[in-house]
Structure 1
Amino acid sequence: MCYFDHQLWPCGWWRWGSFREQCNKEYRTGETCGLKLIYNTYLEPHPCSKCETMDKKARRIAKMSDDIARWRYEGNRIATIEKTQREIAELNDQIEQLWREHEKRKMSISY
């Protein structure tokens, strides 16, 4: 039962921080017993890296959607529209994968 810092983001994402205190079960210097307890929790004010990545991809999708609407109005851009729609589908798949990883990490208890 060694103690570690704990970082927590507003979205629920977390990670173990640096080692703080050794428990009395482990007698070797610099070693830990393997059981992690929270010494102190630090609340991070900014979004986690996964949320930032998902936000960037969502902004890119919004831009592409605006471009598609403009190209449809202008006409003669069928191939460009199709290519952009495929890219939007790929970005949506990537966002979904990132979200699954994010939720899995939020619910896990080990790093």
Structure 2
Amino acid sequence: MCFYNQKRFSCGDWSWTSFAHRCNYEYRTGETCGMRLVNMTENEASKCRLCEKIETKFRRRTAEVDRLERWKREGATLVASMDRSQTLIKELDKEIYMLQREREDKRNTLLR
């Protein structure tokens, strides 16, 4: 039951920050008991690292979809570029899915 400070992001996620003070149960110098309790919560205006990565991937995916639709509208003959763009969109979808799974797994492990 040692006390740590906590950082809460605008997206709802949080992380441990600095060690605040030790509890009475741990008597060894420099050691902590392993249980973490919140000493103080610092509110952060920004989003967490995972949410920022997901937003970045979404923006890149949107730009790629817009580019592909423009090429199709204009009747472009750049079939190789269009295929590459479709492949990139699929890869971005996979990356977004994996990041969202990582975020959900992190949230679910904390609730257990």
Structure with the greater relative contact order (CA < 8 A, sep ≥ 6): 1 or 2?
A: 1
Cα separation, 2, equivalents of 1:50 and 1:57: 11
**Secondary structure of the equivalent of 1:85?**
helix
1:31-110 alignment runs, 5 A limit: 31-72=31-72, 73-109=74-110
Q: How many residues align?
A: 110
Is contact 1:26–1:33 with CA below 8 Å preserved after alignment? yes
Is contact 1:4–1:16 with CA below 8 Å preserved after alignment? yes
Cα RMSD of the aligned pairs, angstroms, is 1.4
- Unmatched 5+ stretches in structure 2: none
Is contact 1:13–1:105 with CA below 8 Å preserved after alignment? no
Shift of 1:39: 0.5
Cα separation, 2, equivalents of 1:19 and 1:75: 59
- Please identify, of 28-37 and 90-99, the stretch whose mean Cα deviation from structure 2 is larger: 28-37
Are residues 1:13 and 2:18 paired? Answer: no
Is contact 1:11–1:47 with CA below 8 Å preserved after alignment? yes
Shift of 1:108: 2.5
Shift of 1:41: 1.1
